[in-house]
Every structure is written in C-alpha cells, then in structure tokens.
Structure 1
Amino acid sequence: MFSIERRRQQFDTYVLSDRASNSKLEIVPDRGGIITSWQVQGRELLYMDTARFADPTLSVRGGIPILFPICGNLPNNAYSYKGQSYNLKQHGFARDLPWEVMEQNTEAELSFTIGLSSTPQTREHYPFDFRLVFTYRLQGQTLLIEQQISNLSDEPMPFSIGFHPYFLAPEKHQLRFDIPANDALDQRTQAHHPFFNTFDFAQDEIDWAFLQISRQVSNVADLSRHTRITLTAADEFPLLVFWTLKGKDFYCLEPWSAPRNALNTGDRLLSVEPGATMNTTISLSIEFS
C-alpha cells in the first residue's frame, strides 16, 4: 500500500506513494528539503520551474520551499542582535541547504523525516545553535508537515518560520478564495487595501500580506480544475501571504509565523528557550468536485 523510492538524479529525489489513494509526494533533501511534487488521484497540484530548480545558484521557484529563520526579506538583508550586525538573504537559508534524511516509514503510515542543524556557516548569519526536524506525512488526500524547532544555544533563540507553496493554476481567473481577512498590505507599495476575496490578476505582480487573519483555515477553489485546496495552520502561523506573477501558472498562499523584518522589529517573532523544542504543524488537503 505504501512505498518510498529513491531516485538518483541531479538531486536525489524520494518518492512517497500511497497506492490506495493514488497519491505521491516527491522530496529533495539536498535542495533545501523541498517538496517538488504533490499528486493526488494522479493529478499534479504543485507548480515547478524545472530550469531554475536545476541551477543550484538560483532560488527554487516551485514546490513547497521552507522559510527559516526569517520569512520575507530584511532591509538591506541586515539585522542586529546584541549590538552586532548580521546578514540574511530573503526567506533565510534553510531552503538552500542540504537536509539529512532521518527516518522513512511505510508500515502503519507513510512518512518521511528530515533534519537540519546549525553549522559554523549558518552561525555567521544567525548566531544560534539549532536543530530542525520536519516530518512529511502523506495521508490519502492530505499532506501534513510537522515541525520541531530545537534551541541548542544557551540563550533564547528568536526566529520566524513559514512555507512558500506554489499551487498549479493555469487559469487564475477561475480561482475562488476564502481567505479569513478583511484587509491586506501590499508588500511592494506598503499600501493597505480592503480585501473581498478577489485579486486583480491583470497586475504584473501581486504580493499581499494578510497580517490579521480571523481563523487558521483558508480555502482556494479552482473551478477550471475542479479542485478545492484547504490550508490549515497551527496558531504559530498568524498571517498569510499571497503572491503571484502575471503570465505564470501558479499562485502562492504562504503561512508565515511573523511578517517581514521581524528580527529587527520583534513583531510576532517566535522564540524558543535554551534546550527547549517548539512543535507546530500545517496541513494541505485537496478535494475534487
């Protein structure tokens, strides 16, 4: 019923398969622990720019990248901690580093666990010792991502964390949104706008942050594909970001734990005490009509 296959390619790819639901999940630990494909009933749900993915000098545009220890960017890619300046590029470094394969399970469940630990190189940009352990669980038509963030330092560790899923959408005008927010911040212009669950897809780019959501569940229906995707995030993710580009067959609905520049402002910044671990989850579910 369950299987995990390792495909040796440019980057080793692990393919989780559930024959009962005809579901598959592809994970590439060496390329930031990213999910590159999620299929249910044989249908692909994620967008992937394969040319960018093949170039390790470029950030991946597609799949479900991991954001840590920041979401978004910092002014001049810089922040200060205890009087010292550090540089972090947009969305942090977790999506660019190789993750370790820790556990594979095909017995009572279908799951895949990967880990990422601090190194001298990460401490140059983020002066904390940490351990991330993520478990991807494929449960029929639901993808569950469990996260453990451990602080191995001797002082509290501030951070933000998030995900950047690229959902396949060849006909964006056929999308119908249920995002639990009444207003949004345009992250390009810093203007605030009322939100009525619609977007103007004639714009070259939409980059809106929903800084105050009223519940942790959002839905997007695609009338052209007869699908409905539900994103459920734990309370550690109090905001969402919507991003898309004109002419590209994707939209991103991103759960973030904190807004841009939180390492400088402290706005909703998470923190783990020395020797402690934070556990949190998000899930994605698909329905067909």
Structure 2
Amino acid sequence: MCAIAIQQKQYETYILTNEQAQSRLEVVPERGAIITHWSLQEHEILYLDSDRFADPNLSVRGGIPLLFPICGNLPNNTYTHKGQQYQLKQHGFARDLPWKVTESSEATKNPVSLTLVLDSNDQTRSVYPFDFQLAFTYQLKDNTLEIQQRYTNHSNDPMPFSSGLHPYFLTSDKTQLEFEIPASEYQDQITKEIHQFSGSFDLSRDELDLVFRQITERSASVTDKGRTFKIALGYSDLYSTLVFWTVKGKNFYCLEPWSAPRNALNTGEHLSELPPGGSYEASFSITVNFL
C-alpha cells in the first residue's frame, strides 16, 4: 500500500509512504521543496537540524536542499552576465523559495511520487535575469529514492546554470564510514591543496570541504558499518562534480552531486547552458542496502 498524506506542521508537509518497503518520506514545498525526512525500515536516513529548520530566516541544515542556479558560493556573491553584475548568495535561491505541488501518483501506486515546480518570478529575475521552470519529481520505490528533474528555459536568450543536491546523511560514528568515490584526487576547498584519494579522509578535522572534479563513473557509495547499511548514489550525466562536506561534532556527512563546481557562472567550468525554449532532464537516486 502506497499513500500520500498532508499534515499541517510548522509548514504544510507532504508525507509519502510505501508500507511494503517500510519507507516514509516527508517533503515541505514552502521551504524550497526540501525533503526533510526519509526513514526506511524504521531507520532515519537523513539528518535534520530542527532548530535551524524552525527559523525561516536561517538556511536549512539537513534533509536534501536543492541547489540552483549555482552550487557553492561566488566571490563576493557576485557574477557578471552581459556586462552587468548580479548578486547571488551561496547555493542560489531554489532552496529558499516556495514550490508548488503540481502532480501526485495514485494512492495505491508503486512507486509513489510527488512533482513540485518552481517558476521564475520578479524576485528571481532581479538576481538571475532568465525565465525558467524547474520541475522535480520525488519517487519512492522499495529501498530507493529517485529525484527526477526537468530544467526549462523560457527566455529568449541562452540560460547558463548549475544545479546540485545537498543530502545530509545521518551517522552515529564517522570512523565507521567507508567511501567508494569514482575519483583519484580531490581538492581541499579550505586549504586549496590537491590530494590523492585512496578511499579515506582525516575525519578528525574541524571541517572537511572536499571537491572531486574528475569523476569517472555515474555512481558513488558510503558504507556505514556503525549503522549497518550502505548508501549508493546514482546520478545522470548532468553531474560532473562530487562534494564531500562534514563538520566535527555534528552527526552528519554530505556527499553532493553538483553539475558544476563553485563559481561556474563566472569561470564557465562545466557550466550548463539551455537554448531558448530548451529543456534538460536529469536524475539522482539514493538506494539503501542493509548489511
């Protein structure tokens, strides 16, 4: 039995359930269409800082924020387009704005799914001078969460953008994590040093912010021996970059697919560009396998 329910918490929350798989997903359209919770067989997969989430003036730290039209930050939060400067804060605006639910699957259908849309408006055009539509479909099937995406340019000019997802995974002991990331090196975004990657990091540091630019496969995984499951990520060709981020003393880690590295709107590195009237579809999946 699959179902979609709506609960009025602090925000209107859509709850997708798949009873057979013992899977439950919570989505908050008003806060950037964020997935706040995903539980599977009574195991919470995602981390959420509930205090930050309760304050609408703070960015959400937890769940799966959506990044658009940039990933990461820009120098002085500034980029230039056609000789004019614009201001965009870190990770763009999609994670902060309200999205609209446009479609949901039948209550008994497997997979159960929910589609949300963000359209450009005066607020977005003031910092990003394009007309667009984003449509994201969250699909819950067995032990997999799939996020299907469609990016559409309604402008008369080509539309440059980058996009990403920022899942926060809950963990009880970071020393019990084992990584399979399809890259041989990474850059430390704090020190700017480049290091060879052999499958592990120094997780005792106060903060790790690592970018893998030369990924060779469309999948990556983390085995959490402490929680006895493996998280496998799958991502389509849009995504060129993986970012690992964690903070000492917090029981989360992030492994994030980005379509381009930070500052791509200025440098053009791996920047996507949609022609007028064009659309692009992409996908991202998280599969949890218990050990």
Shorter-chain TM band:
over 0.9
**Deviation for aligned residue 1:220:** 0.4
- How many residue pairs align between the two structures? 289
Q: 2:275 maps to which residue?
A: 273
In the alignment, does 2:57 pair up with 1:43? no
**Deviation for aligned residue 1:190:** 1.2
Q: 2:89 maps to which residue?
A: 89
**Deviation for aligned residue 1:107:** 4.0
Question: Secondary structure, in 3 states, of the residue corresponding to 1:101?
Answer: strand
Question: Secondary structure, in 3 states, of the residue corresponding to 1:214?
Answer: coil
In the alignment, does 2:155 pair up with 1:158? no
Q: Is the 8 A contact 1:48 1:166 kept in 2?
A: yes
Q: 1:122 maps to which residue?
A: 124
In the alignment, does 2:184 pair up with 1:182? yes
TM-score, normalised to structure 1, is 0.99
**Deviation for aligned residue 1:170:** 1.5
% of aligned pairs identical? 54
Question: Secondary structure, in 3 states, of the residue corresponding to 1:96?
Answer: coil
Q: Deviations over 1:234-270 (max 9, x none)?
A: 0110110000000000000000000000000000000
Q: What is the identity, as a one-letter code, of the residue corresponding to 1:261? A: N
**Deviation for aligned residue 1:23:** 0.3
Q: 1:241 maps to which residue?
A: 243
Q: Is the 8 A contact 1:216 1:238 kept in 2?
A: no
C-alpha distance in 2, partners of 1:84/1:275? 23
The runs of at least 4 consecutive aligned structure 1 residues that moved more than 3 Å come to none
Of 180, 199, 202, 2:201 maps to: 199
Equivalent positions of 1:1-289 (< 5 A) are 1-105=1-105, 106-109=107-110, 110-289=112-291
Question: Secondary structure, in 3 states, of the residue corresponding to 1:285?
Answer: strand
**Deviation for aligned residue 1:43:** 1.0
Question: Secondary structure, in 3 states, of the residue corresponding to 2:30?
Answer: helix
Q: Is the 8 A contact 1:142 1:284 kept in 2?
A: yes
**Deviation for aligned residue 1:42:** 1.6
Question: Secondary structure, in 3 states, of the residue corresponding to 2:123?
Answer: helix
TM-score, normalised to structure 2, is 0.98
C-alpha distance in 1, partners of 2:224/2:51? 26
**Deviation for aligned residue 1:108:** 3.0
**Deviation for aligned residue 1:276:** 1.2
Relative to structure 2, which stretch is displaced further, 5-14 or 243-252?
5-14
**Deviation for aligned residue 1:188:** 1.4
Q: Is the 8 A contact 1:217 1:233 kept in 2?
A: yes
C-alpha distance in 2, partners of 1:279/1:97? 21
C-alpha distance in 2, partners of 1:279/1:214? 21
Q: What is the identity, as a one-letter code, of the residue corresponding to 2:278? A: A
C-alpha distance in 1, partners of 2:288/2:196? 28
**Deviation for aligned residue 1:88:** 0.2
